[in-house]
Amino acid sequence: MALLTGAGIVVKLVLILLGLFSVVSWAIILFKFFQVHRANGESERFMDFFWKSKRFDAIASQVDRFANSPLTVLFNEGYGELKKVVETDGKSEGSALSTDLGGIENVSRALRRATNSEITRLEKYLTFLATTGSTSPFIGLFGTVWGIMTAFEGIGKTGSASLAVVAPGIAEALIATAIGLVAAIPAVMAYNHFQHKIRVLINEMDSFSTEFLNIVQRNISGK
């Protein structure tokens, strides 16, 4: 604390900025941890329930149990669009779901839109972690360089280069680099962790979309 309070105004501003970066990063890390891990866990349970169920309407009545899973969003969008297409085809032709642009392609587009929306939601705030991880060491280095410049300026004024004169100024300067690393390392580790988890969810969403369309097409072919 003595080193922090004794630092120059520029170094103090750097330390305050890095402190804010660190606090916000940890808030994002905690939020994303619960969000992403809930999404992974509920997605696994939803897929088990999905394959055990025989009817889409039965699944639709239970999706609220898996509200944190992105797969339920895809299912709701795909099933909602499927019902619209079936109703339209039934009114206009009295036939099964068509495979032209007014039929199953609408379902496919709805699934793609839902997937993109969920990816955006899951990746929200991760940019800040990446920014913190990449810029904090340089901000800390700037504070260190400035502090060392100030220390050498003090040496020039006093005319003494003894360790007792140099060491306190250098120590104050190096605090900025240390705080920069403290802010950056957790942010980088969390960013990589969440990116991996989100990639797993993206693959699950792609697989679910493919399986959903395959089920629809098989039901159409069987009619």
pLDDT digits (tens, 9 = 90+) for 89-124: 555 554 444 544 456 788 888 899 999 999 999 999
d(CA 150, CA 69): 54
**Residue in the block written with tokens 């889409």:** 56
Per-chain mean pLDDT for the chain: 83
pLDDT of residue 112: 92
Q: At what angle do helices 9-52 and 104-123 cross, to 10 degrees?
A: 150
pLDDT tens column, 186-202: 999 999 999 999 999 99
What six digits make up the tokens of 160? 């003494």
pLDDT tens column, 46-62: 999 988 887 888 888 88
Distances (CA, A) of 89 to 70, 157, 222: 29, 88, 17
E strand spans, the chain: none
Residue 15: pLDDT over 90: no
d(CA 9, CA 80): 59
Length of the chain: 223
Domain of residue 128: give its range: 2-222
d(CA 14, CA 121): 31
pLDDT tens column, 118-169: 999 999 999 999 999 999 999 999 888 887 877 777 677 766 666 666 666 6
User: Are 66 and 72 in contact, with CB atoms under 8 Å apart?
Assistant: yes
Q: What proportion of the chain, given as a percentage, has pLDDT over 70?
A: 81
- What domain count does the chain have? 1
